[in-house]
Structure 1
Amino acid sequence: MIVLALDTSGSGCSAAVYDSETAAVLGRSGADLGKGHAERLMEFVDEALAASSRTLADIDRIAVTVGPGSFTGIRVGVAAARGLALALGKAAVGVSTLAVLAEGLRAITPGKAVLAAIDAKRDEVYVQAFDAAGHPLADPQALAAETARERFADFDGIIGGSGAHLVATDMPANPSELIDVAALARLGAVADPASAKPKPLYLRGPDAKPQAGFAIARA
């Protein structure tokens, strides 16, 4: 199966073409943009396809990170995955950003439980624990950093991600939000399209909200 993996869930924006039969990334492209995902995503898709010597017609499935993460970025990625799936007549699957992070950590340190932690800003963190086989031990949560530190003080495993230093204060800060698109593609290749439809996973309300008192009454 040839999988097109898309990630726009954080500051990074990337695409990769993955062959599940050989477990190989055939081509990838992306950058840590901060913003501007909508303007650059399809450019990265084209570059990944060119690097893989594949075309969109060769794609069997689209996998996309669905959050938690940037509200705007998640909407961009999910919309692109749905649009490509509709145009190509192929399945699209959504994969949790925390699951992708955990999969990447497991590949580096196999045989250990993993706590995936993403900095949610405002002294909060998105967290989810997984066992050594990659199975979730609990639902993903948005927690105050202090609460996360107390809850996972005795966690016996690997803690990683942009929010790891908020959970374990002895860890150095790592602000990178770049996602391992190979891990995303691997999880996307085995996901069930019937139960893993691409829809945003939001664990809290948006940071930007309409200002009160400026609504204009409809005539």
Structure 2
Amino acid sequence: MIVLAIDTAGTGCFAAVYDSGDDRVLASAGADIGRGHAERLMAFIDQALAESGHSLADINRITVTVGPGSFTGIRVGVAAARGFALALGVPAVGVSVLAALAASPRRLHLGQAVLAAMDAKRDELYCQIFEADGTPRTEAQVVELADAQEMFAGFEGIICGSATRHLIAEPAPGVSQADACDIGIVARLGAMADPALGKPSPLYLRGPDVKSQAGFAVARA
């Protein structure tokens, strides 16, 4: 199965072409761009396809990160994935950023549960615990920092993600404290996902930081 993977949930904008039969990323493209995902994504997809030796007609599945993360970036990625899936007549699946973050430590520290913890700003964390086999132990949730420190005190397992520093003094060796997903892991998780679960949908754990100012709205005639 040839998978097109897309990640626009954070400041990065990435695409990859993955062969699940060989468990191999054939090509990837992208950069940490901060903003402008909508303007750059298609070029990165074209680059990944060209370098992989495949065209869109060869794609059997689309996978995309669905959050938590940037509201705008998530919308861009999910819309693109759904559009490609509809046009190509192939399934599209969503991959949680928290699941993708937890996948690397699980491979590095076999047999241990993993807590993926992202700094959500405003003294809040996005958190989820995964068993050693990748099965979610908890739901993805947003937790106030003080509550998280109490909730995860003495956690027996590996902690990863940008909020690691808020929860433990010494991170496990080789474990990333960043929130950037490995696009290859996103592709692998997408290849293993069940398309019967439905189309990818944004995973928003809280409302947007920027809200409309109702008091300045122009009344409709």
TM category, shorter: over 0.9
Q: Distance in 1 between matches of 2:177 and 2:161?
A: 8
Deviation of the 1:109 alpha carbon: 2.2
Deviation of the 1:171 alpha carbon: 4.6
User: What pairs with 1:142-181 in structure 2 (closer than 5 Å)?
Assistant: 142-171=142-171, 176-181=178-183
Offset from partner CA, 1:24-49 (integer Å, 9 cap, x none) = 00000111111111111111111111
Offset from partner CA, 1:22-80 (integer Å, 9 cap, x none) = 11000001111111111111111111111211111111000001111111110000000
Q: 3-state DSSP class of the match of 2:189?
A: helix
Q: Distance in 2 between matches of 1:163 and 1:150?
A: 14
Q: Distance in 1 between matches of 2:81 and 2:194?
A: 15
Deviation of the 1:143 alpha carbon: 0.7
- The residue aligned with 1:195 is 197
Q: Is the counterpart of residue 117 in structure 1 residue 117 in structure 2? A: yes
Hey, which bits of structure 1, 4+ residues long, moved more than 4 A?
169-172
Cα contact 2:160–2:177 (8 A) shared by 1: no
User: What pairs with 1:1-219 in structure 2 (closer than 5 Å)?
Assistant: 1-171=1-171, 176-219=178-221
Matched residue pairs, number? Answer: 218
Q: Distance in 2 between matches of 1:36 and 1:122?
A: 24
Offset from partner CA, 1:164-215 (integer Å, 9 cap, x none) = 222224459x774321111111111111112142100111010000123101
RMSD: 1.5
Aligned-partner residue type, residue 9 of structure 1 = A
Cα contact 1:67–1:202 (8 A) shared by 2: yes
Cα gap change, 1:169 to 1:196, in 2 (>3 Å): farther
Deviation of the 1:144 alpha carbon: 1.1
Deviation of the 1:87 alpha carbon: 1.0
Deviation of the 1:140 alpha carbon: 0.6
Cα contact 2:101–2:179 (8 A) shared by 1: no
Q: Distance in 1 between matches of 2:153 and 2:194?
A: 34
Aligned-partner residue type, residue 181 of structure 1 = I
Unaligned runs of 5+ in 1: none
Q: Distance in 2 between matches of 1:163 and 1:73?
A: 21
Q: Distance in 2 between matches of 1:207 and 1:169?
A: 29
Identity of aligned residues (%): 61
Cα contact 1:66–1:95 (8 A) shared by 2: yes
Larger mean Cα displacement after TM superposition, 101-110 or 161-170? 161-170
